[in-house]
A and B are shown apart, each in its own frame.
Chain A
């Protein structure tokens, strides 16, 4: 038995007591700008963690660099504040080494999709059992307002005074295209939905990806205002529920159906609800279509779980392979390794 297993033998599998939100608040002062969307995300996470019934010591938050990446300091669990872009890789290594831990990543659009883009796509492909929350504020906050890989075309930023000529990523499409098995979206100002999505992510094995629209009120205020302002909210937010038709709008009078492969708005009052798309989390193609809505003018943006299919996590395959080899070859023995195979004796 190795030392980690032996050390963990004494640790309880269940929390000794039921945690409260405050049990996940660390003693560090939270240092985001007042009004930043990150506060809400932190609060929702701290609200959900007690419900997961995971001992606090089994939770690890890993991050890279950026405003979002200060997250681990504020949660009273284990944590690593890593280097720029590498959170997914650090977390992958930790999860492979310790499949018994619940490993979470807090990252942002710059950290996760620009400098860390390579790690992100590969972790999706591999399906390492880590939970990734990507705070998308469509800007670099910590470095003071440069455009990010999700900034919109034409956006005026510190580094694009004449407008951004980069074309943005659609994070959900990137995740789906890279083979992610769990893809969801929520918004900092949708506490209920955000909590629900985080709960779903926690329960899923394999990599989970949650894009969270987050307002940076200092450098990119109102980037998601159509989704967060009271007056425009209902017409611009499509809440996904598995098995339910895609209906939204103030009086639930709008729907979406397909014309060929192209989504089409339906005025339910006038045309009825025949042929509306029924959400199916297991439908990969549908997930692509839903993810694509975000870049179609006039369409609402979906929130909730777009796609969730169960497949074995990378780390369990890794452990499984090791167990198999141990069964067929027997537990490794140093003497056999050193003295086995082609050796010869020299005697005097």
Chain B
């Protein structure tokens, strides 16, 4: 599998570290309550299909990237820097 880094271009999957669903960018407030924190930390849509997850280009430019990917086919549909995806409010 090759993954597109918005900065470096298409690179070998081994350069990246996977960090799970992009929901990790939506940290609830300290007072949000146990349900919200449970959803943030543990519960996942875990789709068999298109998902958005976080990858760290550890052996490249060190950017955090939101990949749009199909978990059933391993097709990569898009990539955006996490900082920008977050600003656009489209991380989930």
Query: Do A and B form a real pair?
Result: no
